A and B are shown apart, each in its own frame.
Chain A
Amino acid sequence: MKKVYGSASEALDGLLQDGMLIASGGFGLCGIPELLIDALVKSGVKDLTVASNNAGVDGFGLGKLLETKQVAKMMSSYVGENAEFMRQYLSGELELEFNPQGTLAERMRAGGCGIPGFYTKTGVGTVIAEGKEHKEFNGETYILEEGIFADLAIVKAWKADETGNAIFRKTARNFNPPAAMCGKVCVMEVEEIVPKGSLDPDHIHLPGIYVHRLIQGEHEKRIEQRTTRPRPDGTARKAEEA
């Protein structure tokens, strides 16, 4: 079965319907599926529920999908960098379900592993625990959190072979593997599709079984907080650690 598609729009063709649940990879603007988000905007699909750690920024990433009001609900841990998000949320146009970051990641992982629920200490005694089942294990209280089973996962990797075996780069991995796992269908965008056999099987981060459709494209990879330190005058960069 051929997984490689010509464009993000082609790769999403036939997969979209209003009201669907989409899981997205990325942390801040790092490792987000830029091309697939653009294609979702173009498609006009609406009333989406999006499970994503963050909601992009104004004009970039998931922020674009918010501007066009295609999102009805976000499931996120932190949404601080987006004025349009806040406007829609405060006016009641957009629903928001806060999830502790690790709970969100584990809900995706669990869904992808066929686990409908798990108990965690995270959030016990906070607003997050309200309405959730509490259970004691070895004298400690835990709450029940449910796995996420997404209709569609959109993720970004660095490289993949034609069968979808994927490798991520540095901290751009973040939510991409758990998001990919929890989708009934997963569409992945990469910077480079390489021929079968050119990736070391021992170095695959996400096996191709989780990837159903694949595209290659150019990524802007915008930096959210550019922070640097002064370069010591006239000296080369030293190894930081022996």
Chain B
Amino acid sequence: MPWDRNQMAARAAEELEDGMYVNLGIGIPTLVANYVGDKDITLQSENGMLGMGPFPFEGEEDPDLINAGKQTITELHRTSYFDSATSFGMIRGGKIAAAVLGAMEVAENGDLANWMIPGKLVKGMGGAMDLVAGVGRVIVVMDHTNKHGDSKVLKACTLPLTGKGVVDRIITNLGVLDVVEGGLKIVETADGVSEDDLRAATEATIV
């Protein structure tokens, strides 16, 4: 059985180590926070916060306290706030250990496309280009294929890039792949998914 959204998030959470400062993207990456367990992880929200807490209880929403997806959130005892230039200073400066992000396409050379589909409404890259260029490790979490069954793990991206050669590890519903010299290396497969299944769903070169 391929992994579901929560299993993918749980697998991504295994990538995070005690003491890390981490940025989680919107979608499945947000679920990663539910699976960090006892690890001491500090979440960054790039609109200017370290130590992001869970959603507030109803009636306790604060319009001055939102995450990068503009959702109301809460603070923790460890929380600090800062301005956007400082926030992206710590991202660009390599202080954030890892980012977990969704993607439309990933290529075997680590190219990432997740912000724009030509001909469709373009909303903007937000902080994604800064994150993938700056953080220590970029972990992509996404479905292995699109809704037409085409591979999203490609030899080369077809969509406009968010970053060139930036992805370190890809976690999909079928397994885990690393970007290495010459292509992608299978790290593990989801329970019940064979390496052959994974290869069949992957356009990229597997070494």
Contacts and interface: CB of A to CB of B under 8 A. Distances in A.
B84 A175 contact: yes
B27 interface: no
Contacts of A53: 84
Interface residues of A, number: 61
Nearest to B126: A78
B54 A240 contact: yes
Interface size class of B (residues with CB under 8 A): 35 or more
A122 B57 contact: no
Given A121-B92, A174-B48, A231-B57, A126 B164 contact: yes
A171 B121 contact: no
A101 interface: yes
A229 interface: yes
Contacts of B121: 80, 86
A23 to B, nearest CB: 12
B55 A103 contact: no
Interface string A221-241: 111111111110000010111
B129 A128 contact: yes
Contacts of A172: 63-64
A121 B161 contact: no
Given A27-B84, A98-B125, A102-B92, A122 B66 contact: no
Interface string B122-157: 111111111001100000000000000000000000
B48 A173 contact: yes
A241 B58 CA distance: 20
Contacts of A183: none
Given A101-B130, A122-B92, A173 B76 contact: no
Interface in A44-93: 53, 76-81, 86
Nearest to B49: A171
B38 to A, nearest CB: 12
Contacts, number: 192
Given A101-B126, A225-B71, A178 B83 contact: yes
A177 B75 CA distance: 21
A164 to B, nearest CB: 16
Contacts of B92: 102, 106, 120-122
Interface in B153-196: 160-165
B12 interface: no
A126 B71 CA distance: 29
Contact of A125 (B46, B124, B165): B165
Nearest to B116: A127
Counting chain B CB atoms within 10 Å of each CB, which of A30, A86, A171, A221 scores highest? Answer: A171
Interface in A146-182: 158, 168-178
A228 B70 CA distance: 13
Given A29-B70, A123-B133, A231-B58, 16 more contacts: A27-B84, A77-B126, A100-B128, A102-B46, A102-B84, A102-B89, A120-B133, A168-B81, A172-B63, A172-B64, A173-B83, A176-B83, A221-B63, A225-B70, A228-B55, A229-B54
5 contacts: A30-B66, A77-B126, A122-B92, A126-B162, A229-B56
